Structure 1
Amino acid sequence: MLRDELNQSMKAAMRAKETRKLSTVRLILAAIKEKDIELRTTDGGDRDDDAMITDILSKMVKQRRDSIKAYEEGGRCELAEQEKAEIAIIEEFLPKQMSDDEIKAACEAIVEELGAEGLKDIGRCMAAMKDKYAGQMDFAKASKTIKGMLS
């Protein structure tokens, strides 16, 4: 279970005095706890814990990539490097990411499976992609690929 793996990683980082990893794992656990509280108040019902955590991790990586871009444009390279280090740590807990060729093949399979024909079907295709490949690919790339196939 991903939650247990994160807790074990936090303990190992404490023992090894890896401050960057420790702070990043604590950020992840805080985000998970926040999501747990949100789901408790909105009566989230049954949910796949690992899928929820994978979704949180994917969003954290995306936020850091956006921050890196902003920091590099602002000439703050040291902050961009910190964000890159955090991304590397977060990605340790994500499933292996698909290559561009694998993304293209998955997009083709979904388009064929759903019988998508035009741009109006992009939403349906992306929903199916997110259900099937959560945390395994960059959905911005997948969206561009599907848009190219359907236009």
Structure 2
Amino acid sequence: MDKIETVQKEMIAAMKAKDGERKETLTLLLSALKAKAKDKREPLTEEEENTIILKEIKQAEESLAGAKKAGRSDLIDMNERRITALMEFAPKQMDEGEIKQIIADVLRQLEIEKPEAKDKGNIMKNLMPRVKGKADGGLVNRLVGELMK
């Protein structure tokens, strides 16, 4: 079952449970997934679905940050619930240990024993396709940067 069907079923369940906020969040996610599929004119790949879900999560996190800055507790609560609902559909994120293992594999593949700042671009170019959608880019960048110290 693809994500569109899963989200539709969850949205129907939210409607039956009279959970308006969850229903609205899932409606927005479903709309984004369907719009991308319509533009593409064929079913989405799992990676494309995950990219859309992660984009929606990032937007909610940005809204949450703005709400915290403004001290709006109502918007803070709403965005936290929205993030929680969206996280159910997000791909499992890699932890630091898994990312470090992939970094080590890339370094072996590139035959780099002691990475230097000049190697970072080449390392990231080979590393990011392996972790895209599965790990936070900022965390990956930080871990690679730590190796160069």
Asked if these proteins are the same fold (TM beyond 0.5), I'd say: yes
2: CA distance between counterparts of 1:6 and 1:34? 14
Q: Which amino acid aligns with 2:20?
A: T
2: CA distance between counterparts of 1:125 and 1:55? 22
Picking from 123, 138, 141, the partner of 2:139 is 141
Task: Call closer, same or farther: CA 1:52–1:104 in 2, change over 3 Å.
Answer: same
Q: How many residues matched?
A: 146
> Which residue of 1 is the match for residue 36 of structure 2?
35
Alignment of 1:99-114 (within 5 A): 99-114=95-110
Deviation at 1:87, TM superposition (A): 0.9
Task: Call closer, same or farther: CA 1:19–1:120 in 2, change over 3 Å.
Answer: farther
**Does the aligned pair in 1 maintain the 2:64–2:79 contact within 8 Å?**
yes
With 127-136 and 83-92 compared, the bigger mean Cα shift is at 127-136
> Which residue of 1 is the match for residue 59 of structure 2?
63
Picking from 41, 47, 53, the partner of 1:51 is 47
2: CA distance between counterparts of 1:121 and 1:54? 29
> Which residue of 2 is the match for residue 43 of structure 1?
none
Deviation at 1:85, TM superposition (A): 0.9
Q: Which amino acid aligns with 2:28?
A: L
Residues 49-106 of structure 1: CA deviation (Å, up to 9, x unaligned):
2211100111111222222222111111221221111111111011222223333333
**Does the aligned pair in 2 maintain the 1:3–1:50 contact within 8 Å?**
no
Picking from 80, 89, 105, the partner of 1:84 is 80
**Does the aligned pair in 2 maintain the 1:32–1:56 contact within 8 Å?**
yes
> Which residue of 2 is the match for residue 95 of structure 1?
91
Task: Call closer, same or farther: CA 1:14–1:149 in 2, change over 3 Å.
Answer: same
| Percent pairwise identity | 26
Q: Which amino acid aligns with 1:35?
A: K
Structure 1 gap segments, 5+ residues each: 41-45
TM-score (norm 1): 0.79
Deviation at 1:15, TM superposition (A): 1.8
**Does the aligned pair in 2 maintain the 1:98–1:136 contact within 8 Å?**
yes
Deviation at 1:38, TM superposition (A): 3.7
RMSD: 2.5
2: CA distance between counterparts of 1:118 and 1:29? 44
**Does the aligned pair in 2 maintain the 1:122–1:146 contact within 8 Å?**
yes
2: CA distance between counterparts of 1:139 and 1:26? 27
The structure having more radius of gyration, on CA atoms, is 2
**Does the aligned pair in 2 maintain the 1:72–1:80 contact within 8 Å?**
yes
